[in-house]
Amino acid sequence: MTKQERIAAFAKLGEWLSKLDEETTQLVARLHHKNPWYTMDNVLRQMHALGNNLTLEKLSTWIAQYPAEESKKTVGLVLAGNLPLVGFHDILSSAIMGFSVKIKASSDDAGLTQLVINHLIQIEPLFAEKITLVDKLADFDLIIATGSNNSARYFEYYFGQKPHIIRKNRNSVAVLTGDESTEELVGLGNDIFNYFGLGCRSVSKLYFPKDYPIATFFEAIEQFSPIRDHFKYNNNYDYNKSIYLINKDKHYDNGFLLLKEDSNLSSPLAVVFYEEYADIKGLESILNSHQEDIQCVVSQQRLQIKSPNFGLGESQQPALDDYADGVNTLDFLAQHQ
């Protein structure tokens, strides 16, 4: 395949993801039986977000400076499963650069990656020889693996001799000024609650200015209260609430989200940690000191920080060049073409 043929195939895949047919929508509706976190709303949200990025114009601009020829090498991919199609960007990057791809999907994937790859192959049958899902990775030249901090040590041990990108846990944070509109706070609600807060782009920590009225935040996010109807999310909410009550830990509770003052960035599910700050410059320094643990920062204002800075409500909508952990996947692949 030529570079243009690869781009055209993914652009057609983007059209399909943006306007799913009835049969595919029915399949998506049943995925929660295999993985309760893969609700229809969340799967469709992810598919539409991917479809929005997979246009001829965006793909062509993104890949323009990179080599056109196909590679004789194979990329091994170890994908996470915390979100629907969370590893698709790695598949896209490897395949559009002309590599063969072997994919080890997560046991939580619920067959969603295979569904999308099958449709890509219907669009361009030559991808059948280039992209395969495997039970065990073998015979690859370089690897991209995503997992927890614990699994990252495993990846380093087994894959460290190959050229690699190995990703660990990261979290996203929000910085509030106190001047946010209700609409902006609702956007922050999306940053927190989309995909149940399970992703590295989900906001798990809030930085409030001193004496910030917590009620203002709670009032704005009330529309997300139906999340408590999801039994797994609600089980986490009940469990963490019980722990805080037993331990007499100070916290705020609006019936579906717990706010607890804590210096950590990573909070339990159904909990968001918070801290107060007095000086924005001092906070920027703190955020920069935690750069390796932060995926992105959302705020009403543009901060002087090293981590990617998004507007409120935008953390879950990365562009093609918003690379996970700040590592340019295409540059890595081009170096090993």
Residues of the chain with pLDDT under 50: none
Architecture of domain 3-169: 3-Layer(aba) Sandwich (3.40)
CATH number, span 171-310? 3.40.309.10
Beta-carbon contacts of 274 under 8 Å, excluding residues fewer than 6 positions away, are 205, 206, 207, 208, 259, 260, 261, 262
pLDDT at res. 68: 82
pTM given for the model: 0.95
Dist CA 66 CA 48 (whole Å): 26
Q: Return the axis-axis angle of helices 3-18 and 88-96, rounded to nearest 10°.
A: 150
Alpha helices by DSSP H, listed for the chain, are: 3-18, 22-29, 40-53, 56-63, 88-96, 112-123, 149-159, 182-193, 214-220, 231-246, 280-289, 329-335
Domain range annotation of the chain: 3-169, 171-310
Dist CA 332 CA 97 (whole Å): 11
In this predicted model, what pLDDT tens digit does every residue of 275-293 receive, in sequence order? 999 999 999 999 999 999 9
pLDDT at res. 2: 95
How far, in Å, are 55, 97, 231, 312 from residue 52 at the CA level? 7, 20, 31, 19
110: left (phi over 0), alpha (psi -120 to 50) or beta: left
Q: Is 51 helix (H, G, I), strand (E, B) or coil?
A: helix
Closest residue by Cα to residue 5 from 51, 49, 70, 50: 70
Beta-carbon contacts of 260 under 8 Å, excluding residues fewer than 6 positions away, are 244, 249, 250, 251, 252, 267, 271, 272, 273, 274
In this predicted model, what pLDDT tens digit does every residue of 153-201 receive, in sequence order? 889 888 889 999 999 999 999 999 999 999 999 999 999 999 999 999 9
